[in-house]
Copies of this chain bind each other. A is one copy, B any other.
Amino acid sequence: MIIRILGSAAGGGFPQWNCNCRNCADVRAGKPGFRPRTQSSLAVSRDGKSWVLLNASPDLRQQINDTPALGSLAEGSLRNSPIKAAVLTNGDVDHIIGLINLREMEPLTVYGSDRVLATIAANAVFNVLDKGKVARRELPLDQPTNLAGADGPLGITVTAFAVPGKVALYLEDASKGANFGSEAGDTIGLEVRDEATGKAFYYVPGCAEVDARLGERLKGAALVLFDGTLYTDDEMLQAGLMPKTGKRMGHISISGPDGSIAAFAKLGVARKIYVHINNSNPVLNESSEPRKATEAAGWEVGYDGMEVRL
C-alpha cells in the first residue's frame, strides 16, 4: 500500500494567507528550515494506479498537479483520472471543499458519515459533482467498508471510528451546550487496510483526546498519521492569533502531560507521523527545540509529498 501525504497543514495552510506570525513570515520569505504546506489530505493506493483520497482539501487542484501519479494518464482515454474515490473524515471546509475540483463528469465515489453527506447535500455548490456520475455513499461507524470506484473494488477496506472531537466550526450551535451540538461521528478516525496483504494504518487528522478506547485501538499499529495541529494547548492564545485553546477547537496538543507524545508513549506504534499541522506550531521550524523534542520522542513531522509504503 502506498500512502502519500498531499497536504500536511491544518486549515489555512502554511503560510496562511493573512498570517504574519513568525512561522508564516519565515516560510513566506523562503527562510531555510521552513517548508510550505498545503491543507490536510492523503492519497492511498494499493497498486499505484487507482487512488483513494482521504479528505479533499481546498488545495486539491494544486496537490494533483504536484503529484504526477494523480494526473490524468497520457495512455488513458480522453478523460480519465486515477482518483477513484474520496473518503471524508468530517465536514470541515478544509476537508470537503476540494470535492469541487473533482467535477467535470468523472465517475467517482464519495464516502462520508451521514452528517457529512447531509452537509454536502445541503450546499448546492457541490451539485457540480453530477449525482449520476459521483456516487455518495454513507460510511457507517465501526463497520469495514470495501472501497469501490465506478469500475469496481479498489482493494482497500476502510473502517471509520468515532474519536473525541467537535463538530466543524461553521456548523457549531452555541445553543446546544458545551459541545456546540457535536455528535458521535462528527470527528472520525480511519483504519485503512490493504485487502491483499492485511496490512493497515490509522489516519486521525483531528482528535481532542487519546482516551482509553482510542489507545486500545491504536496499540501496536504499524503506522499512525495523527493530529499535529498544535504543539501546546494555548499556543494560539499566547501568540495572540486566536482566543481559543486547542481543547476548545477539538485538537489535542503534541506536548505536555495531556499531549499526544505522552499518550502514545506506551502504545508501541511502529511509525508515528504528525499531519494537520497548524501554522502556529513550532515544529514547522526544523531547527526549533520543539521539533527536536518531537523527533526525539520517535515522531516524524509530515510534509507534502512524503510517501510511506506499507
| Residues of chain A whose beta carbon lies under 8 Å from any beta carbon of chain B | 12-13, 15-21, 24-25, 28-29, 36, 38-39, 58-59, 61-62, 64-65, 70-74, 76-81, 83, 93, 96-97, 100-104, 106, 119, 122-125, 127-128, 169-171, 239-241
Say how far A25's CB is from chain B's closest CB, in angstroms.
5
Say how far A129's CB is from chain B's closest CB, in angstroms.
9
Copies in the complex: 2
Whether A125 contacts B241 in the complex (CB less than 8 A), given A16-B104, A78-B20, A106-B18, comes out as: no
Indicate if the CB atoms of A124 and B72 lie closer than 8 Å: no
A58-B61, A127-B170 are known; give 19 further A-B pairs, CB within 8 A.
Answer: A15-B71, A17-B106, A18-B80, A18-B83, A19-B72, A20-B78, A25-B72, A28-B71, A58-B58, A58-B97, A59-B62, A93-B100, A93-B128, A96-B125, A97-B97, A97-B125, A119-B125, A123-B124, A128-B170
**Nearest-neighbor residue (CB-CB) of A36 within chain B:** B65
- In the bound assembly, the distance between CA atoms of A283 and B58 in angstroms comes to 29
Interface centre among A12, A18, A20, A83 (most CB of B within 10 A): A18
Indicate if the CB atoms of A72 and B17 lie closer than 8 Å: yes
Indicate if the CB atoms of A20 and B58 lie closer than 8 Å: no
Say how far A70's CB is from chain B's closest CB, in angstroms.
8
- In the bound assembly, the distance between CA atoms of A257 and B268 in angstroms comes to 72
Indicate if the CB atoms of A18 and B58 lie closer than 8 Å: no
Indicate if the CB atoms of A72 and B15 lie closer than 8 Å: yes
Say how far A256's CB is from chain B's closest CB, in angstroms.
24
Q: Of the candidates B15, B100, B239, which one forms a contact with A58 in the assembled complex, judged by CB atoms under 8 Å apart?
A: B100
**Nearest-neighbor residue (CB-CB) of A26 within chain B:** B74
Q: Of the candidates B16, B79, B125, B239, which one forms a contact with A125 in the assembled complex, judged by CB atoms under 8 Å apart?
A: B125
Chain B contacts of A71 at CB under 8 A? 15, 17, 28
A-B contact pairs, 8 of them (CB 8 A): A13-B61, A15-B71, A17-B101, A17-B102, A25-B74, A28-B74, A59-B62, A119-B125
Chain B contacts of A127 at CB under 8 A? 170
Chain B contacts of A93 at CB under 8 A? 100, 103, 125, 128
Whether A79 contacts B13 in the complex (CB less than 8 A), given A29-B74, A123-B125, A124-B171, comes out as: no
Say how far A108's CB is from chain B's closest CB, in angstroms.
9
Chain B contacts of A101 at CB under 8 A? 17, 58
- In the bound assembly, the distance between CA atoms of A29 and B68 in angstroms comes to 10
Chain B contacts of A15 at CB under 8 A? 65, 71-72
Chain B contacts of A239 at CB under 8 A? 78
**Nearest-neighbor residue (CB-CB) of A170 within chain B:** B127
- In the bound assembly, the distance between CA atoms of A64 and B16 in angstroms comes to 10
**Nearest-neighbor residue (CB-CB) of A169 within chain B:** B128
Interface centre among A19, A76, A103, A125 (most CB of B within 10 A): A125
